[in-house]
Amino acid sequence: MPNTVILGAQWGDEGKGKVIDIFSAKADFIVRYQGGNNAGHTVVIGEDEFILHLIPSGILHKGKVCIIGNGVVIDPKALFDEVDMLEKKGVSVAGRLLISEEAHVIFPYHRRLDELKEEQKKKIGTTKKGIGPCYADKVARSGIRIIDLLRESTLKDKLKANLEEKNAILTKIYGVEGFSFDGLYREYLEYGNMIKKYVANTALVLNDAIKKKKRVLFEGAQGTLLDVDHGTYPFVTSSNSTAGGASTGTGVGPTKIDKVIGVVKAYTTRVGEGPFPTEFPEDLMDRIRRKGKEFGATTGRPRRCGWFDSVIVKHSIMVNGIDEIVVTKLDVLDDLDFLKICTAYKYDGSIHKDFPADIRALDDCEPIYEELPGWKADTTQITSYLRLPKNAKNYLKRIQKILKAKIVLVSVGSDRKQTFSKSE
């Protein structure tokens, strides 16, 4: 297995957790490179369901080393809640999890600022986990990193400086109470004591592993259209969820990455605010949402659902350099009489096949569709591409032709076993 990035090629929630879990079986190292506990990767193994927000999905495979890279922002409480959950389910974390000393730390004031900003008139639809404010501190060069939790004097100085600024914003701009230094200082010193056994120079670990021909799997969170540079800005996350983030978020140079795999649903979803050209009407939305269990793994919020949008996926293929595609949740479409694929947008009086940067164009555009017949048959028990109904195969073939990217895996259910390779 070459060094591979697996990421979402839509607005997130594409089923990456399951796909990463499958590919982890052949990897030696699995590394998360961006985002925070605003992500939720779900893996179903028999009767057990695991929802992971920070720790890479590869932790569910014995003997794998999992790394949280420098590009991730870490809420220590969320991290240790996840460690406890895994240990209680019999998954050993000790000696298998490494955390970058350069990763930035989320504090309660980040969460409070996130909540307050989201309560303003123009919502972005964040998870209110403090992700954006933490990344803002990172870019402003005032952030506190994991390594700082291990140095009492450094933590004291940085936390005092941050609280002076944050408390002024909270009290004078938002009119709410600030935070006490003593309580936060003691709490995060203790987190430092708890986390130090996991902390490492992970860039060095990964580059040494690659030199030794070990196989590395880079795990993306969210999706391409939520990338802060290449997504539907400003309705995006605060990090680079595209393949480029795998290098900046781990310290592994781009020449060391061999392949990029994009994960897409057989339809389209997004959570929160922002444009969504192919969004279903309410009756179909409710039907697909219930069948696909389209509720956020992190927040429980209902996801918006719509027809497959090839415009956004072609954009994802371009900006990520995607080599192969995995299609998930094909089974959710089993009951439909017909299906639609969006191939272009109409706005400003003309038809456009490229993804526009102008958010107003996405808001105002009319999607141009191709319509295909449905297959009206249960696919959840199918274990081979060749056994799929003819119209299901035609749907996948058409998607592949439009995208000009090879579909390599198809998923027809949440369990590991409900996945098979696509062969012509």
H/E run at residue 91: none
Please state, as a whole number, how many other Cβ atoms lie within 10 Å of the Cβ of residue 123: 13
At 401 the pLDDT is 97
Please tell me whether residues 269 and 293 are part of one structural domain. Answer: yes
Q: Is the pLDDT of residue 120 over 90?
A: no
Please tell me whether residues 234 and 288 are part of one structural domain. Answer: no
- φ/ψ of 170, rounded to 5, equals -65, -45
Please tell me whether residues 305 and 400 are part of one structural domain. Answer: yes
Q: Is the pLDDT of residue 121 over 60?
A: no
Q: Is the pLDDT of residue 338 over 60?
A: yes
H/E run at residue 61: none
Q: Is the pLDDT of residue 274 over 80?
A: yes
Check which CATH number belongs to the domain holding 285 and give it: 3.90.170.10
Among 331, 158, 314, smallest CA distance to 230 is for: 314
**Which residues are marked as active site?**
13, 41
For residue 234, whether the previous peptide bond is cis, meaning omega lies within 30 degrees of 0, is yes
Please tell me whether residues 211 and 302 are part of one structural domain. Answer: no
Write the DSSP symbol of residue 413.
S
Please tell me whether residues 111 and 189 are part of one structural domain. Answer: yes
Over residues 296-337, the pLDDT tens digits come to 766 678 999 999 999 999 999 999 999 999 999 999 999 999
**SS3 state at 391:** helix
* Domain count along the chain: 3
Residue with tokens 């919020």: 301
Q: Which of 11-15, 104-108, 117-121, 344-348 has the lowest mean pLDDT?
A: 117-121
**SS3 state at 118:** helix
At 123 the pLDDT is 66
Please tell me whether residues 245 and 187 are part of one structural domain. Answer: no
* pLDDT average, residue stretch 402-407: 96
Please tell me whether residues 364 and 411 are part of one structural domain. Answer: yes
Check which CATH number belongs to the domain holding 181 and give it: 1.10.300.10
Decide which of 413 and 47 is more confident: 413
Give me the domain span that covers residue 59.
4-101+199-261
